[in-house]
């Protein structure tokens, strides 16, 4: 396995955990890098961007363009609804 890919997946897991805890959270790639990842988990912005792409392709994240050519990432609505339904069914 490619070591870079493994790092991207680890960062994606951290972001996914954040969204599970805060399902309505949304931020830019640099905001996610700075505020969402644990302080001991410092990675370059391009790694965060690759992790966000993995989450987007996997249907867990959605990217919304904003002014200035920037993008805000949020948890995908379909995923959030599916997870909420899973939680209700499990109870």
Q: What is the pLDDT of residues 30-56, one digit of tens each?
A: 999 999 999 888 999 999 999 999 999
Count of the separate structural domains present in the chain = 1
DSSP helix/strand/coil, 27: strand
* Structural element, H or E, at residue 71: strand 71-75
Does the predicted TM-score (pTM) go above 0.85? no
Q: pLDDT tens across 56-76, in order?
A: 999 999 999 999 999 999 999
CATH code assigned at 83: 1.10.10.10
Count of residues making up the chain: 91
Q: What residue numbers bound the domain in which 15 lies?
A: 3-90
């Amino acid at each position: 396995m490619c070591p870079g890919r493994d790092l991207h997946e680890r960062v994606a897991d951290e972001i996914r955990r954040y969204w599970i805890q805060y399902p309505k959270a949304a931020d830019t790639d640099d905001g996610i890098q700075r505020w969402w990842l644990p302080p001991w988990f410092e990675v370059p912005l391009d790694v965060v961007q690759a992790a966000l792409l993995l989450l987007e392709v996997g249907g867990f994240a959605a990217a919304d363009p904003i002014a200035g050519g920037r993008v805000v990432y949020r948890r995908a609505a379909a995923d959030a609804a599916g997870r909420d339904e899973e939680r209700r069914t499990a109870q």
